[in-house]
Structure 1
Amino acid sequence: MKIFARIYILGILVTFVAGCATNKSTPLSNGVWRGTLATDASIDIPFNFEIYDSLGIKQMAFLNGKERLNINEVTETADSVYIKTALYESEIQAAKVPGGLQGVWIKHLPNKTVKMVFTAEANKDFRFMKDTGNKAVDVAGRWSVEFHRKNAANTYAVGEFEQKGNKIDGSFLTTTGDYRFLSGVVDKNTLMISAFSGANPVLFTGDLTDSTDIINGKMYSGPSSVSNWSARRDEDAMLPDAYKIAGLKAGNDHINFTFNDLEGKPVSLTDDRFKNKVVVVQFLGSWCPNCMDETAFLAPFYDKYKDKGFEVIGLAYERYKETDKAKAAVMNLKNRFKINYPILLTGYTNAPGQVEESIPALDNFSAFPTTIIIDKSGSVYKIHTGFSGPATGKHYTDYIQAFEKEINGLLAQ
């Protein structure tokens, strides 16, 4: 009955927004807002965003921990608001109501459209609840995490959290990347953390038996995904070496490919541009938040080193095989991060097995992003799976420092 009610309400809201509300409303107010997205399980995933003016134009920023993701495609009418996150091909359509907004979040996928009921309240800077002053269990530190999968092998992660009072910031690190900036609270013995920046809403809840165990964990992702998780405090928790996950098939020490760039011109690793240079091949997708984090690092790094014998090639594995749709998605990424290195449209998608089909020498490719470092002779030097972004703190700074040192070492050879 609850799920049916959600679908019914969603239909009403879509019709209401599309048809344009008739209530007279005031302009969209600046400040921090509290938004929620309703799952099919009748669980609300909360998040925060800020509305502000820039040169007299309304702007929006998703707020998650230390991250602020600015969105400049905000359209306001007398009774409605439309917010587009072009990078993730998603949007919010909402009607103005007293004190806030009501509407729907829409994400466009190649074979379907995902929708979730959206509500928001103005001038609410808390995410889950106001600070009650209740003594909270201490969760700050490092945790060994296990995600329990119904029809697949369990997966493992490392959780790292910072805590001030009952407020929590942190992330989960996995072999394929991190869950980016998570933010929330500990209320007595209940942990609640969430994130949303236009791509995919996620909520983690769990019970703290004490300061050493998290049980009865639930992970809600998007409108319908629900899975279980648990954790135990472990300051020595570690993930497998990211350089030892993917590799090359026996007998290979090179990779080869020829794909078209965004202008339709074929580009190959054997082109003169890349000869006798250190080359990084970035496997990415515009749909991938961890790829966005890596690109935010690689784009200025390339600009710094491009005149020193260093090159980057991005290989885009989009959700669309159609060239025009894939190109449009990649252009959003290119423009957002001011990418000056070539990004090639592979014609393949992110479906399992497609990357290894496109680059036959690869073995055990398992994640976007994956980064291949090629030395001046054209041999594969290292392959790094995943990317630990800014949300992982020291792991991020340690990686980029080691990466720069490694590139400098190869350039000096």
Structure 2
Amino acid sequence: MRILYFFLASVILLSCSDKPVVLQTGIWRGVLDQQGQKLPFTFEVENLDGKYLIYIRNAGEKLTLDEVKIDGDSVKMVLHIFDAELHAKVEGNSLHGFYLKNYDRSFRMPFNASFGDDYRFEKTSDMATTDFAGKYAVKFIDSKNDTSVSVGVFNQKGNHVEGTFLTTTGDYRYLEGSVVNDTLFLSTFDGNHSFLFIATKNENNTLTGDYWSGKASHETWTAVKDDNAVMPDAEGLTFLKEGFEKIDFSFPDLNKNIITPEKYKGKVLILQIFGTWCPNCMDETKFLSQWYNDNKERGVEILGLAYERKDDFTYASERVLKMKNKLNVPYEFVIAGTNDKVKASETLPMLNKVLAFPTTIFIGKDGKVKHIRTGFEGPGTGVYYDQFKQRFNEVINQLLSEKQVSKK
């Protein structure tokens, strides 16, 4: 009898342990342990008829994760279009696990989350004593003492701060954080970027801070408040080498059909140099998709030139197809190479170099390159995004108004 009781109790315990856990719906506060620093972000969990949806929140953005799998006592979240995941054990109102990048087996960053905490850095009702709002001329200094310039734009309401940095290769997207005492804290996590910024204001109205990205990158930064701060002209950084007027290539599409610029003869063509691993490219792809749906009847085509993490057609095409389906992208793509900028430059030898992902090339009806724009000012940049859209349409309207001189 005692043996039978023990057997039944074991069966009951085993059955209980095999039952999938329930992920609490509502607000969670996630934290990545990045280089010994705590990088916080918030996310929402929703259960729609038994299917979990998760929304990562950064300032004005909500990034949807629709591939969420519960397996026993654990949860796996595929991070949108990126080849990365969050894996965690569910323990009531807590998650404990790791942030992983599938293309890099060495990448493993501790991740924890707590349910019901709707704040980012510190929960405080104290009024901020320091105002960080405004536009700044920024200088970043990396571990090799190399410098790069940027423009920082911050909006502050009470303790809450949102903003971004504009650089020559793109913006740092949606940064969100707070002022705690006299220190500015900003962070973002979008599935690929994990950025943390900390800064203090000096007596001369300048800022001094630190910037951590990923597993190893750390830079210091200084900033001077400057309403007239500007970035270098995005249309002058990437250009054709002397003696070239056109872009020439021969790349396979997702079905291995070879595509050349000849296919688009007589039309205005936009070439998008991008990668599915790149959040700024994701922002541009969303813009181009909507724009193409609204304007494709005007004689304009878009072709995405994908530069992926691996020199493997199957891997690259699967990543692009996933992005295409998830973002409902209506235009075509080819697999052009890898995201190594030196090797990417070799695939388009008529360019001075591939400086940034994304880079956008505008080709006229005559097949000649008319404009090249390096980087992208996305929706997280506010007024700069509006200016980009205005300039984009000006360029396209100009190219559409040109007559096709030659069909050679």
TM-score computed with the length of structure 2 as normaliser: 0.91
Q: Which residue of 1 aligns with 2:62?
A: 68
Q: Which residue of 1 aligns with 2:370?
A: 381
Letter in 2 for 1:47: F
- The SS at the match of 1:198 is coil
Q: Contact conserved, 1:189 with 1:210, CA < 8 A, in 2?
A: no
Q: Which residue of 2 aligns with 1:221?
A: 213
Q: Contact conserved, 2:133 with 2:153, CA < 8 A, in 1?
A: yes
Q: Which residue of 1 aligns with 2:234?
A: 242
Considering only CA atoms, is the larger Rg found in Structure 1 or Structure 2? 2
Letter in 2 for 1:330: V
Q: Equivalents in 2 of 1:188, 1:209: separation in Å? A: 14
- The SS at the match of 2:380 is helix
From 41, 49, 52, the counterpart of 1:47: 41
- The SS at the match of 1:343 is strand
Q: CA deviation at 1:360?
A: 1.2
Indicate yes or no: 2:312 matched with 1:310.
no
Q: Contact conserved, 2:341 with 2:354, CA < 8 A, in 1?
A: no
Q: CA deviation at 1:165?
A: 0.2
- The SS at the match of 1:353 is helix
Q: Equivalents in 2 of 1:323, 1:72: separation in Å? A: 26
* Coordinate RMSD, CA, aligned: 1.7
From 319, 333, 343, the counterpart of 2:323: 333
TM-score computed with the length of structure 1 as normaliser: 0.90
The change in CA–CA distance for 1:210 and 1:60 in structure 2 (over 3 A counts) is: farther
Q: Which residue of 1 aligns with 2:93?
A: 99
Indicate yes or no: 2:112 matched with 1:125.
no
Q: Contact conserved, 2:20 with 2:71, CA < 8 A, in 1?
A: no
Q: Contact conserved, 2:27 with 2:118, CA < 8 A, in 1?
A: yes
Q: CA deviation at 1:184?
A: 0.2
Q: Contact conserved, 1:283 with 1:370, CA < 8 A, in 2?
A: yes
Q: Equivalents in 2 of 1:136, 1:31: separation in Å? A: 32
From 250, 258, 275, the counterpart of 1:266: 258
Q: Which residue of 1 aligns with 2:3?
A: none
Indicate yes or no: 2:296 matched with 1:294.
no
Q: Equivalents in 1 of 2:180, 2:237: separation in Å? A: 38
Q: Contact conserved, 1:202 with 1:221, CA < 8 A, in 2?
A: yes
Q: Which residue of 2 aligns with 1:35?
A: 30
- The SS at the match of 1:366 is coil
Q: CA deviation at 1:88?
A: 1.3
Aligned residues: 387
Letter in 2 for 1:34: R
Q: Contact conserved, 1:64 with 1:196, CA < 8 A, in 2?
A: yes
Q: CA deviation at 1:25?
A: 8.6
Q: Which residue of 2 aligns with 1:14?
A: none
Q: Contact conserved, 2:24 with 2:93, CA < 8 A, in 1?
A: no
- The SS at the match of 1:36 is strand
- The SS at the match of 1:391 is helix
Q: Which residue of 2 aligns with 1:359?
A: 348
- Provide, for residues 39-80 of structure 1, a one-character-per-residue CA deviation record: whole Å limited to 9, x for no partner: 23x211111111012344111010000000011011124522
The change in CA–CA distance for 1:205 and 1:23 in structure 2 (over 3 A counts) is: farther
Q: Equivalents in 1 of 2:300, 2:20: separation in Å? A: 55
Q: Which moved more, 1:239-248 or 1:361-370?
A: 361-370
Gaps of 5+ in 1: 1-20
Q: Which residue of 1 aligns with 2:7?
A: none
Q: Could you list the runs of 4 or more consecutive aligned residues of structure 1 that deviate by over 4 angstroms after TM superposition?
A: 21-26
Letter in 2 for 1:268: T
Letter in 2 for 1:310: V
Q: Which residue of 2 aligns with 1:230?
A: 222
Q: Which moved more, 1:167-176 or 1:303-312?
A: 303-312
Q: Equivalents in 2 of 1:311, 1:130: separation in Å? A: 49
